[in-house]
Structure 1
Amino acid sequence: MKPRQAGVLLHPTSLPNANGRPGQLNAEAWRFLDWMQQAGLRWWQMLPLTEPHEDLSPYQAVSAFALNPALLPDHWQEAIEPEALADYLEAPPHWLEDYALFKTIRQTQNLATWRDWPHALKMREPQALAAFAAEHAEAILQLKTEQFALQQLWRRFKSDANGKGIRLFGDMPIFVAYDSADVWANSQQFMLDAEHNPTVVTGVPPDYFSATGQRWGNPHYNWAVMQDDGFAWWRQRVAAALELFDLVRIDHFRGLEASWQIDASETTAINGHWVRTPGEALLRVLQADFTDSQGRLPLVAEDLGIITPEVVALKERFGLPGMSVLQFGFNGLPDNPHSLAEQVENSVAYTGTHDNDTTLGWFESLDEGAKQWIWQQLQPLAAPHLAKAGLPETMPWLLIDAALHSVAERVIVPMQDWLALDGEHRMNVPGTPDGNWRWQFGWPQVPPELADSIHSLLAQAKRL
């Protein structure tokens, strides 16, 4: 039988920090590891650690490889070992030079998208790039030094987490931002025209939630080129992710079976169409490269939304866990994969995700009839467990207990739910451009007895 475990969803920028700054990989991160260990939580799930654009969304990054420099603690430069830095620069990661060049050019161009850069830099003419690099050598070296410091710090952090019995769970957006070092430096891997503008972009079709669908705008991969070179870019990307994390979620996994292509000239997603992708061939390559000691590919398929039988078959062919979100499980429809009755062992169960309202906020938004119906389903089973743990028979504890007692191998609960916070504390409201990705908790919000109460719940659910 696979071990039953539980964890927390918390992005490092949501850690406490002084002076209102976003959370960093400082003493607070190590303090959080100690708190997790006391609570018996074995998985720390995070959003992508890559550097976001100015809107702070971790899902639209400047680079698919470079870590977010905002995570560096104050006084980080004092910890740099010159000899180790020299070794790093002598044999740098394959992406480092392009990232440092891209970001430096972007800064000199007032953060303009690279399609609007001077033509020679946009098209990566070698002479122009060499001249720019020579002129801005100091700024480029600083960016490389930041990445070295982040890599060193993260290795220590991951080693300490693993030493405490805590494993790290990362997140990989399936697509990358057009305005990124990846597309600029690897234009042949994407569907671009002669001037390196996207010909088709990503999204999802119209559905119950949106009459016009969603036009995300990321460029599509040129899968034929990627397949011809053995998916080298993807293999490098997954290898880098698995150096950082013990387990990685692939966001929008259904895009590995087929993706919604929209002509770049279209302003909505209405007129797109499905195009098959060679996801099975890619996953076979990744399976050969990265199968772990237990014979498992350390990936999780984000399979939320409308999922076809073909996508389910692809996920199951490689034994990948999917996701269930219990907040979605109470619509009364038969065969709802998120309902308590439909949970499966090979999955990760959540009360909610970073895109959901907090569980308390979600419950408070329901009408009284729905609240009563849900309470009647959850309270009889949860009551003795919550009483033993010294917790109230209220939300979010009723749903947390239901998740913990599900058959799912892993259960992940957002930190907002562990803290029983309302909807004012959600991380992201999809479709809204402002105010997202900024939530942080403070230690005064964490009751002294909370870790022991969580430990009790986990013990009762046999998840220690």
Structure 2
Amino acid sequence: MNIRASGVLLHITSLPSRFGVGDMGPQARHFADLLADAGQLYWQILPLGPTSPALGNSPYAGFTAFAGNPLLISLEDLVTDGLLSISDIGADPPARPDRVDYEAELARKSRLLGKAYANAASSLETHDAFQAFCREHAEWLDDWTLFVSLKEHYNGLPWHVWAVPHRDRHDDAIATWREEAAERIQGEAFAQFLFFQQWNRLRDYCRARCLRFIGDLPIYVSQDSADVWTHPHLFKLGANKRPTVVAGVPPDYFSATGQRWGNPVYDWPANKAEGYGWWTRRVAHNLTLYDAVRIDHFRGFAAYWEISAHEETAIHGTWVDGPGAELFELLSRRISSLPIIAEDLGVITADVRELKNSFNLPGMKILQFAFGDEKPKHIPYLHDTNCIVYTGTHDNNTARGWFESEASLDERESFATYLGHWPESEDIHRIFMRMAMQSVANTVIIPMQDILGLDSACRMNKPSTLSKNWEWRLTRDAAVPETLKELAEMTRFFDRAPLLVGHDTGELPKG
């Protein structure tokens, strides 16, 4: 990310579509065209793993660090591929095209993916692409399909309360279950095949338009996940397989009581004893999906906030050393390129900065943080080239919402002083966009809500809350070239539209 360029943050679920959730189909390709025509180089998204209403539909609280979210599979593309018919998918428009309806779409996709599998099942034993996919991804796919089938068998209960032979993965019990649930296991493998087939098509489509994906890798995984079930010794769990300590952050900008995420924390010595194999596989897997990866909560590799599992908030925790440079040195040796963005927000100490700088990883600058206590880090005139500037992230309010309802009077006055005048609310997003584009930073990413100038009602997530998050969607009438016209103009004026080689190659210029 060493050329001057810009991009847009919009998760796949937030795309328009014929249904109640965005997907990897026609509207994703249309959005890619809009970005390319507006001179954007990057499309940043959130994690692609399976989500659940039981976990607040958060893409940061999935059941696996490897599998894809079946909700994102395009039904229209399954019709094109001959796996479903037009009559199968129906044509009823979503009740709220500006909001995701997770529960309704989960039921719809489960039913129709089951039908697609039934239509294909008789040919899968001789389906070369499917068989190759299963072999290539066996290291995580076999455990994931087992996990899904057993979770359904136990009516959705978390794995640590399953019968002990299944909870503890006794060889004979697992072998018996593979035989008993063979059809369901293969059905889930087929759903994953469809997901990765569609994702690879979308990525190829974007690459042909010189558009690059920035993905997101949460540092932690959920307790109720295939990863912890399969590798419990890599986490700090008790005899009952439940966490003894959990992850979070101390009191911060987002919460006076901190954030108690509840994820199990890593037993780093145990990970080290295995040569950090699980982490190597995880990072390598993500780098096959994206062109660059943002690691969420990067500071946890230097030191992380550990909270007793009995604590109800994150106030009473302690800092514990992470693996530090050792892990990244190993990753650098095993993976030829590490295009990683370090999410270095919150309590950042000298050891975190040293770890980031040692591997020349770009950090993040958030303009909403530039006019309060964190001004020195985020104010534009102190930016450096090796960073990513955001007006806000998925966890922030929209730029307009920040100014109207969240910024203190001192922050608004500081903002006005920086501008030289008191701004109008309807201009805040435009001012933030221009401020980001003017930065010396190589890379600028603008959330779609800020391009549209939307208010607080359209924010993606409010940390430390459990409902009404991850639901915002871009509507079809906003997914038009006119919407990105001002962004395109700023991109050209501030020299962020790199000279790209023709769309037929998807290559970028050297240097």
Question: Is the structural similarity TM-score above 0.5?
Answer: yes
Whichever residue aligns with residue 418 of structure 2, its letter is Q
Q: 2:82 aligns with which of 78, 91, 97?
A: 78
Unpaired runs of 5+ in structure 2? 84-119, 498-511
Using the size of structure 1 for normalisation, the TM-score is 0.92
Instruction: Give the Cα separation in 1 of the matches to 2:370 and 2:273.
Output: 42
In structure 2, the residue matched to 1:13 is 13
Q: 1:451 aligns with which of 469, 484, 488?
A: 484
Q: Is the 8 A contact 2:34 2:480 kept in 1?
A: no
Q: 2:362 aligns with which of 321, 335, 340?
A: 321
Instruction: Give the Cα separation in 2 of the matches to 1:397 and 1:201.
Output: 40
In structure 2, the residue matched to 1:163 is 208
Q: 2:182 aligns with which of 117, 131, 137?
A: 137
Change (3 A) 1:131 1:298: same
Q: Is the 8 A contact 2:400 2:426 kept in 1?
A: no
Instruction: Give the Cα separation in 2 of the matches to 1:109 and 1:228.
Output: 33
Change (3 A) 1:16 1:379: farther
Task: Give yes or no for the alignment of 1:89 onto 2:93.
Answer: no
In structure 2, the residue matched to 1:65 is 66
Q: 1:432 aligns with which of 443, 465, 489?
A: 465
Instruction: Give the Cα separation in 1 of the matches to 2:220 and 2:187.
Output: 28
Change (3 A) 1:364 1:136: same
Change (3 A) 1:91 1:41: closer
Change (3 A) 1:419 1:455: same
1:379 deviation in Å? 6.8
Whichever residue aligns with residue 61 of structure 1, its letter is G
Whichever residue aligns with residue 48 of structure 2, its letter is L
Instruction: Give the Cα separation in 1 of the matches to 2:414 and 2:137.
Output: 58
Instruction: Give the Cα separation in 1 of the matches to 2:488 and 2:260.
Output: 43
Unpaired runs of 5+ in structure 1? 383-391
Change (3 A) 1:421 1:335: closer
Task: Give yes or no for the alignment of 1:413 onto 2:414.
Answer: no
Task: Give yes or no for the alignment of 1:236 onto 2:281.
Answer: yes
Instruction: Give the Cα separation in 2 of the matches to 1:270 and 1:168.
Output: 36
Q: 1:378 aligns with which of 419, 435, 438?
A: 419
Whichever residue aligns with residue 347 of structure 1, its letter is C
In structure 2, the residue matched to 1:460 is 493
Change (3 A) 1:372 1:205: closer
Change (3 A) 1:449 1:343: same
Q: Is the 8 A contact 1:51 1:67 kept in 2?
A: yes
Aligned-pair identity (%): 41
Q: Is the 8 A contact 1:378 1:402 kept in 2?
A: no
1:211 deviation in Å? 4.8
Instruction: Give the Cα separation in 1 of the matches to 2:205 and 2:129.
Output: 20
Q: 2:163 aligns with which of 96, 118, 122?
A: 118
Change (3 A) 1:284 1:370: closer
SS of 2:397's partner is coil
- Give the stretch that moved more between structures: 52-61 or 68-77: 68-77
Q: Is the 8 A contact 2:247 2:307 kept in 1?
A: yes
In structure 2, the residue matched to 1:388 is none
Residue by residue over 1:137-187, the C-alpha shift from the partner in whole angstroms, topping out at 9 and shown as x without a partner, is 111111100111111221121112111111000000101100000000011
SS of 2:205's partner is helix
Whichever residue aligns with residue 82 of structure 2, its letter is E
Whichever residue aligns with residue 463 of structure 2, its letter is P
1:421 deviation in Å? 1.3
1:39-54 correspondence to structure 2 within 5 Å: 39-54=38-53
Residue by residue over 1:263-285, the C-alpha shift from the partner in whole angstroms, topping out at 9 and shown as x without a partner, is 22333323321111112110001
SS of 2:261's partner is strand
Q: 2:349 aligns with which of 308, 323, 329?
A: 308
Instruction: Give the Cα separation in 1 of the matches to 2:410 and 2:317.
Output: 39
Q: Is the 8 A contact 1:325 1:338 kept in 2?
A: yes
1:164-203 correspondence to structure 2 within 5 Å: 164-203=209-248
Task: Give yes or no for the alignment of 1:260 onto 2:293.
Answer: no
Instruction: Give the Cα separation in 1 of the matches to 2:437 and 2:75.
Output: 38
Q: 1:359 aligns with which of 373, 381, 399?
A: 399
Instruction: Give the Cα separation in 2 of the matches to 1:334 and 1:269.
Output: 21
In structure 1, the residue matched to 2:149 is 104
Q: Is the 8 A contact 2:235 2:266 kept in 1?
A: yes
Whichever residue aligns with residue 385 of structure 2, its letter is E
Q: Is the 8 A contact 2:255 2:464 kept in 1?
A: no
In structure 2, the residue matched to 1:277 is 322
In structure 2, the residue matched to 1:386 is none
Greater relative contact order: 1 or 2 (C-alpha under 8 angstroms, separation 6 or more)? 2
1:369 deviation in Å? 7.2
SS of 1:7's partner is strand
Whichever residue aligns with residue 3 of structure 1, its letter is I
Q: Is the 8 A contact 1:38 1:452 kept in 2?
A: no
In structure 2, the residue matched to 1:56 is 57
Q: Is the 8 A contact 1:38 1:451 kept in 2?
A: no
Using the size of structure 2 for normalisation, the TM-score is 0.83
Q: Is the 8 A contact 2:11 2:45 kept in 1?
A: yes
Instruction: Give the Cα separation in 2 of the matches to 1:334 and 1:141.
Output: 51
How many residues matched?
A: 449
Instruction: Give the Cα separation in 2 of the matches to 1:218 and 1:395.
Output: 36
Instruction: Give the Cα separation in 1 of the matches to 2:426 and 2:467.
Output: 35
Instruction: Give the Cα separation in 2 of the matches to 1:2 and 1:260.
Output: 32
Whichever residue aligns with residue 437 of structure 1, its letter is W
Instruction: Give the Cα separation in 2 of the matches to 1:341 and 1:4.
Output: 17
1:208 deviation in Å? 6.6
1:201 deviation in Å? 1.2
SS of 1:8's partner is strand
Whichever residue aligns with residue 455 of structure 1, its letter is A
Residue by residue over 1:309-345, the C-alpha shift from the partner in whole angstroms, topping out at 9 and shown as x without a partner, is 11011100110000010011012x5862111222111
Change (3 A) 1:235 1:28: same
SS of 1:171's partner is strand
Q: Is the 8 A contact 1:378 1:399 kept in 2?
A: no
Instruction: Give the Cα separation in 2 of the matches to 1:307 and 1:368.
Output: 26
1:209 deviation in Å? 5.6
1:371 deviation in Å? 4.2
In structure 2, the residue matched to 1:34 is 33
RMSD across aligned positions (CA): 2.3
